[in-house]
Amino acid sequence: MKGDQLGEFEELVLLTIAFLYDDAYSVAVVEALSQRLERPMSLGAVHRTMQRLEEKGLVCSRFGESTAERGGRRKRLFTVSVAGEQALQEVRRIRNALWDGIPITAFGGSRS
């Protein structure tokens, strides 16, 4: 079923949330993804993906403290849930199995 699978962009966002750990909010995820992928990211696309991951139970969110620099608004902080960690581990297992199954000759004799 499509709703149960983790799409490539969802995987990247979920990995970035894990990477940022306790400081994963929409803008920070956009900045980290843009920097790592060396291309601009849309805040709207990332925000929608984070909401979708929460609906799937792969992340949990909570509100941080309000700050004067944000005009009294609070950040919505995300963390990877147990189900999210399991989904990432499964994707990693599948990718590693695929890489391990590629014959060395498939890439002209070298595989990095």
Task: With beta carbons less than 8 A apart as the criterion, state whether 60 and 78 touch.
Answer: yes
Give the predicted TM-score (pTM) of the model.
Answer: 0.86
User: Does residue 26 surpass a pLDDT of 50?
Assistant: yes
Per residue in 46-80, pLDDT (tens digit) is: 999 999 999 999 999 999 877 777 677 889 999 99
CATH code that applies to domain 2-101: 1.10.10.10
User: Does residue 19 surpass a pLDDT of 90?
Assistant: yes
Nearest one of 82, 73, 84 to 50, comparing CA atoms: 84
The half-sphere exposure of 27 on its side-chain side, counting CA atoms within 13 A, is 4
CA–CA dist 111, 21 (Å, integer): 32
